[in-house]
Amino acid sequence: MFKAKLILLAAVLSSVYLSAAHASTTLDEALDQLYDSVAAKFVQNRYFHNSADPDLARIKNLKLPDFQMMDKELFRSSMKSYCTLLESPNGKKVKNTARFGIVNFTENSGVRRFFIYDVAGQQMIHNIWVAHGGNTRFSQWYSLKDVDENEFGGMTKEVVLSGGDVSVASLFSNRNGSNQSSVGMAIAASEPYYSAENGWNALRLTGVDGALNSNLKPRAVVFHEWNYTSQMMGYYLSAPLSEGCPMLPTRGYYQGQYNVEIARKLMSELYSAPVLFYHDRMNAADNEAGYNANFEEFNSMKQEISDNMKSYAEDYKWTPENAKKYESTIQTKFDTAWRPLIEETYKYFKNKSAYYGVEPKNEAACRKALGI
């Protein structure tokens, strides 16, 4: 009996000590301390340093994108999002609380912007690149054939305009058929599936963040592999474009080993786990800035169309009337294709995430879930 009382007393004292420890630090301070620990482990991980990994000496000419830890603010907000999801009704759908995926679409696709966090181990265990949707940039090619197929179809010098840096995603949507990426909190399926039609393995995603990503599942936006190796990534230094899916490299050199089935390895970690897709335009001020930046680029490319058309007019001896007609047609096509997407993206990011940027209601449960 005496021993039992001592055990009970110890438990009470321990609880009091932990409560006092929690009281001495705010949740933000505790998360910042967690970040410092995770960041230190990240730096110490030999597989997260291209130059420090002796195995890379065998492929020293391969210019793989460097690893980088996410910044503290994104980490802190992501962990709160994780807690907010678990305490919500959708938290019951999360069967794998040991893993948390975070995709930072703010970074370009040449950066390792996809992280998988080991919640219990309090460390990042994967850091890799991931693709975004193709209609996220003014990337369409315009041809003189768009004006008159019969008149210009045989021209060798036919391209009038190509888009800017397609490795940067700036246009987003939740709309079916948009071929754009979505942001917000999602939950991965409990098992992968094989697409016989496409010939790849995939992991379904269900969006649980309202208007931000409710159509992930109907749109068949999934994690899937692409026929891209780490060697190809080292050559192109950016990921290919998708129809909205966060594609992962099929195989290649990975964490000290060759011919690793990278996509399968990463997807196996995420079965039934939450995944946050983030872009800085989820913050109101950044959405305003992004909207203005989109139009600045848009107007710049309209000027590029005009300059290119003047060059063609000189090369092909067009009459002033024809030159004006051709430029007007291309400008109209550009306006019709891209201006609405700029407006749509701005309105899209007006939708608030139910998880990102939201403070957990149950701080004690959040601390327990994160081990802080």
Q: What is the pLDDT of residues 60-79, one digit of tens each?
A: 566 667 788 999 999 999 99
291, 292, 294, 296 alpha-carbon torsion, rounded to 10°: 170
Please tell me the pTM assigned to this model: 0.88
**Structure confidence by residue, pLDDT tens digits, 208-249:** 999 999 999 999 999 999 877 666 766 677 788 888 999 999
Looking at residue 14, what is its pLDDT? Answer: 45
Does residue 2 belong to any structural domain of this protein? no
Query: Does 176 lie in the same domain as 62?
Result: yes
Q: 3-state DSSP: the chain helix, strand, coil percent, rounded to 5?
A: 45, 15, 35
Does residue 4 belong to any structural domain of this protein? no
Looking at residue 346, what is its pLDDT? Answer: 98
Does residue 213 belong to any structural domain of this protein? yes
| Cα(342)–Cα(336) distance, integer angstroms | 11
Q: Which residues form the domain of 92? A: 26-133+169-279+353-372
Q: Give the closest residue to 130 by CA, choosing from 115, 109, 116, 108.
A: 109
Does residue 33 belong to any structural domain of this protein? yes
Beta strands in the chain (DSSP E): 99-104, 114-118, 123-128, 142-143, 159-161, 184-188, 193-195, 200-207, 222-229, 247-254, 257-260, 274-278
Tokens 């690793």 correspond to what residue? 260
| Cα(323)–Cα(212) distance, integer angstroms | 43
Q: Which two tokens stand for residue 300?
A: 């710049």
Query: Does 158 lie in the same domain as 128?
Result: no
Does residue 7 belong to any structural domain of this protein? no
For the chain, residues with pLDDT lower than 70 are 1-23, 51-64, 139-142, 146-147, 152-164, 229-231, 233-235
Q: What is the maximal distance between C-alpha atoms in the chain? A: 105
| Cα(167)–Cα(211) distance, integer angstroms | 25
Q: Judge contact between 88 and 355, C-beta under 8 A.
A: yes
Query: Does 309 lie in the same domain as 220?
Result: no
Looking at residue 39, what is its pLDDT? Answer: 98
Query: Does 180 lie in the same domain as 129?
Result: yes
Q: What does the DSSP assignment read for 199-220?
A: TEEEEEEEE-SGGGTTTTTTTT
Number of domains comprising the chain: 2
Query: For the chain, how big is the Rg over CA atoms in Å?
Result: 25
Looking at residue 125, what is its pLDDT? Answer: 97
Determine how many CB atoms are found less than 10 A away from the CB of residue 155: 14
Q: Which residues pair with 193 in a beta bridge?
A: 202
Determine how many CB atoms are found less than 10 A away from the CB of residue 179: 17
Q: Give the closest residue to 281 by CA, choosing from 336, 356, 208.
A: 356
